[in-house]
Amino acid sequence: MYKATVRWLIRRNIARLNQGDHRPTLAMFADDATLTFPGDNSWSGMFRIPEPGRVPGRTHRGKDEIEAFLVRYVEHGLQMEVEDILVNGPPWNARAAAIVHDWIAGPDGRDLYNNRAVIFVRTRWARIQVEEDFEDTERSAAFDRLLAVDAT
């Protein structure tokens, strides 16, 4: 039952992000949560440059920084679809991974951006402590370049 609830929460929060509402997702994060977004791109470098190494470089720390990430996500009109969700562990030490694809549709219907990702979270009593996003960061960097061209 617990795992089904976690899967439902993830799907509900992604649906709300797709509608432009980041608040349900933000509410799931602990106050001192961290988010790791890898690569050399504007998403990972919003607050600090990720440090390469064996330990994940926490690019976003605390709810304020995570909220800035989520607000930017919905402002760009990103859409996400879940392909699969894996949940393991008890409520006091649960882990979940969502396999997703995300995109931004252009005015002509062609994608301005698209990617595939795995979003991994570690939770304690339904509060996200740690999130790590794994995706093709070259595509994120290419989207940055597209935004820079559009801004000129």
CATH architecture of 2-146: Roll (3.10)
The conformational region for residue 32 under phi > 0 = left, psi -120 to 50 = alpha, else beta, is: alpha
Q: Which residue is it, tokens 């740690």?
A: 130
Q: So what's the pLDDT on residue 51?
A: 79
- Separation CA 141–CA 144 (nearest Å): 5
Q: What is the pLDDT of residue 44?
A: 87
Regions of the chain where pLDDT drops below 50: none
| Angle, in degrees to the nearest 10, between helices 62-75 and 2-18 | 50
pTM reported for the whole predicted model = 0.92
Q: Which tokens go with 12? A: 């509900």
Q: How far apart are CA 15 and CA 17, in angstroms?
A: 5
